Structure 1
Amino acid sequence: MFGHFRRQGGTGSTRSAEALRLVKVSKVYGSDDSAVTALDGVSLSLPAGSFTAVMGPSGSGKSTLLQCAAGLDRADSGIVMVDGEQMTGGTEAELTKFRRQRVGFVFQQYNLLDTLTVEQNTTLPLRLAGRRVDRRRARDILARVGLGERLGHRPDQLSGGQRQRVAIARALVTEPSVIFADEPTGALDTRSAREVLGLLQEAVRVHGRTVVMVTHDPVAASYADAVLFLADGRLAGHMERPTVDEVAERLAHLGDMVAARHDVPAGV
C-alpha cells in the first residue's frame, strides 16, 4: 500500500498512530459515455504527525482525493478513515459533525467571512460546532502565526499571506486530527508562500497535526516530508524527503506518460 510514511525529527518521537486511511476509494463523475473516473481504487495510509504533499498532472484526481478524504465529497465506493474512525455514508448532518470534530481546512481562497474579525473568523468553527470558545487559546494561536496585533482587523484589511495565516489558525483551533490544504500558496507571492508553508510545517512539528496538501508547485512540495503522486485517478508513486528538482522531474515524467497514454502532445 502506497503512502505509509514516517516523519523523522521534530519534537518528541515519531508517532505511529494512523491519521488517515483510504481503502479502494473510487469516484466517478457523469455517467455512460460521459463518465470520468476521478479516483480509481486508491488505497493509502498516513501516520499521525506527517506532512504529505499530493501532486499529479492536471486531471490526475488530486483535488478529488482531498475532497473525498476530507468528507467534502462522497466517494462512490471504498473506505475513508480519519484518526481510526470510519467516515460513514450517513446523513449530511452526521458528515458535517464528523468533519468538525476531526478535520481542519486551508483553502487557496482563504474562505474567510468578510464581516467577521480575525479573532471571530478563527473561532467560528468552535461556535458552529457548539463547543466552548477558549479566547485565550485562540489568541495564543493567532500570536504564533504572527497576527497577535491584528485580532480586530477584518479580512479586507489584511494581505493575502495574512489571510492565509488566519485560515491556518482557524484550522488549528479545533485541534483536528488532519488538516487538509488545497493549493494553500496558489494565490500568494513567494515570500508569503514560504511563510505559510513554514506554518504548515510547524502545525506538524509543534502542534502534532497531520497535514495533507494538494499542490502543483514543486517548491511547496519540498516543504513536505513526502509526496504522493497521482495519474489518471491512481497512485503513481511516492517520494520521501523531496527536493524541488526531484519533484519537478517526476512531475514532468508523469505528464509525458499521461500524454502518451491519451495520445495528446505533452504540455497541452
Structure 2
Amino acid sequence: TAVDDYARGIHVCRIYGAQTGAAADYAESTARFTRGMQERVRLVATPAAVAVALMQATATFAIAYAVGYRWDATTLAATILFSLAIVTPALRLGHGLDYVAAGRAAAVRLAAALDEPTLPAGEALTVPASSPSDRLEIVDLTVMIADRRVVDGVTHAFRPAAITAITGPSGAGKSTLLKALAGFEIPELGTVRYAGQSVVTIDENLRPQSILLTPQGADVLPATVRENIALAAPDATDAEYTAALRRAQIDISLDTDATSLSGGERQRVGLARVFLSPAAVLLLDEPTSALDDRTAAELLKELRHFAHAEGKTIVIVTHDPALADDADDRLDLDSPNSHNAASRNAALTGA
C-alpha cells in the first residue's frame, strides 16, 4: 500500500522530496481517503445526529409517556423501562446496516471476479524454438473490456533484438495490449503470434519461458531478495544474482527481507529478474515509474545492451518521453480507439 511504501522508504523520501515515487503516492492516497471520508461524513452526519438525539433517555421517556400516559402505573412503568432498554440494540442495528451494505458491495465484487473470462491454458507442451529472426507480432488485434474496445484493430511487428516503447495517454490501452501480448487478455478479434505460433496455444506453465510480463509495481514474495530473484533463474549463482541487481540499478544484500523494501526498490528487484530470464520476449509495464531521471537513463542503457547483445525483444509501456525517444522502435496509441495510430506506426516501420 501507499502507507507501507512511504514508511519503508521514509529516509529516501525525506532526502529526495515528495514530488515522485512513494511520497507522492502517499500524499495522493491520503488526499483521496480524506475526500472520501468527508463525503461519507457529510452524507450520514445529520441523520445520525438526529437519530442519536431522538433516542436519548429524555426523548425516549417523553415519547413513551406521550404514548401511554393514560395507562395504569404498572403498564406505563414497564413501557418506559422497555423504551430505555431498546436504545442500545437499536444503535447497534444502525452499524449492522453498514456491515450489510459492505457485504453487498463485496458480493458484487466477487460476482464480477467470477464473471471474468477464463484464460486459455494452452495445449502446446513445447516452447517455440527461438532465433534472432523470430518476431512477436499482432494482427488486427481487438481487446474488449466491459463491452468497450480498449484495443481496436492494432497491427504491429515488434523488432527482435530491440526495445519498442508503447506510448499514449491514459486509457489508450497500453497496459491492456501488454497483457494481451503475454496471453493474459483474450482478444475479441485478431491474434498475437510469436515465432509463427499463437501465444494462447502455448501451455500456460511454459509460456513465461518465451514471453515474460513484468507488471507495473510488481510485488515481492515475503522472502529474501535472493529467493525473489530465483523465481526467474533458480539455478543461478549468487554472483549472477548480484550482477542482475546491479544492472537493475540497485545495490542491496541478497539476504535482505524483500518485504522491507520501498516501492522503487521492489520495482528494481522485479527488473533484476528480467536480466536473468530465459524468455526471448520481455514485456515491461512502466519500469521506470518510481525512478529518478538519472537512474532511469542508466536502466534503459542496460536494457538496450541486454536486448542487442542477447537478441531479446523488449517491449516497454511508458509515459516517459525521454525513454520513448531513446527506444529503438515506437508504437503510439493516441486514443482509446487506437486503430489509426497503430496503423500509421506499422506503415512507418514497414511492419
Q: Does 1:135 align with 2:237?
A: yes
Would you say the 8 A contact 2:133–2:160 is kept in 1?
A: yes
Would you say the 8 A contact 2:179–2:213 is kept in 1?
A: no
* Paired position in structure 2 for 1:179: 282
Secondary structure (helix, strand or coil) at the match of 2:296 reads: helix
Distance 2:169 2:209 in 1: 32
Structure 1: runs of 5+ lacking an equivalent: 1-14, 128-132, 240-268
Q: Does 1:229 align with 2:336?
A: no
How far off its partner does 1:71 sit? 1.3
CA gap of 1:88–1:158, structure 2 versus 1, over 3 A, is: closer
Secondary structure (helix, strand or coil) at the match of 1:171 reads: helix
CA gap of 1:194–1:107, structure 2 versus 1, over 3 A, is: farther
* Structure 2 letter corresponding to 1:135: T
Based on CA coordinates, which of the two structures has the bigger radius of gyration?
2
Would you say the 8 A contact 2:247–2:302 is kept in 1?
A: no
Distance 2:340 2:190 in 1: 15
How far off its partner does 1:24 sit? 1.5
Secondary structure (helix, strand or coil) at the match of 1:18 reads: coil
Q: Does 1:202 align with 2:305?
A: yes
* Structure 1 letter corresponding to 2:210: R
Q: Does 1:238 align with 2:345?
A: yes
How far off its partner does 1:85 sit? 2.8
* Paired position in structure 2 for 1:164: 267
Name which of structure 1's ranges 58-67 and 144-153 shifts more when overlaid on structure 2.
144-153
Secondary structure (helix, strand or coil) at the match of 1:151 reads: coil
Distance 1:44 1:85 in 2: 16
Query: What are the equivalent positions in structure 2 for 1:106-121 lying under 5 Å apart?
Result: 106-113=214-221, 115-121=222-228
Secondary structure (helix, strand or coil) at the match of 1:222 reads: helix
* Structure 2 letter corresponding to 1:95: E
Encode CA deviations 1:95-125: one digit per residue, 9 max, x unaligned. 3432x21122333313222x22222111114
Would you say the 8 A contact 1:16–1:47 is kept in 2?
A: no
Per chain length, whose mean CA-contact separation is higher, i.e. which structure has more relative contact order (CA < 8 Å, sep 6+)? 1
CA gap of 1:109–1:167, structure 2 versus 1, over 3 A, is: same
* Structure 1 letter corresponding to 2:318: T
* Structure 2 letter corresponding to 1:178: V
Among residues 7, 20, 24, which one is paired with 2:136 in the alignment? 20
Distance 2:254 2:293 in 1: 25
Distance 1:154 1:198 in 2: 28
Would you say the 8 A contact 2:248–2:272 is kept in 1?
A: yes
* Paired position in structure 2 for 1:55: 167
Would you say the 8 A contact 1:19–1:178 is kept in 2?
A: no
CA gap of 1:196–1:159, structure 2 versus 1, over 3 A, is: farther
CA gap of 1:38–1:144, structure 2 versus 1, over 3 A, is: closer
Calculate percent identity across the aligned residue pairs: 33
* Paired position in structure 1 for 2:199: 87
Among residues 200, 214, 218, which one is paired with 2:317 in the alignment? 214
Structure 2: runs of 5+ lacking an equivalent: 1-130, 347-351
* Structure 1 letter corresponding to 2:236: D
Would you say the 8 A contact 2:247–2:299 is kept in 1?
A: no
CA gap of 1:146–1:56, structure 2 versus 1, over 3 A, is: closer
CA gap of 1:126–1:144, structure 2 versus 1, over 3 A, is: closer
* Paired position in structure 2 for 1:102: 210
Would you say the 8 A contact 1:23–1:42 is kept in 2?
A: yes
Q: Does 1:72 align with 2:181?
A: no
More strand by share: 1
Would you say the 8 A contact 1:41–1:234 is kept in 2?
A: yes
* Structure 2 letter corresponding to 1:88: V
Secondary structure (helix, strand or coil) at the match of 2:164 reads: strand
Would you say the 8 A contact 1:228–1:235 is kept in 2?
A: no
Secondary structure (helix, strand or coil) at the match of 1:42 reads: strand
* Structure 2 letter corresponding to 1:69: L
How far off its partner does 1:42 sit? 1.4
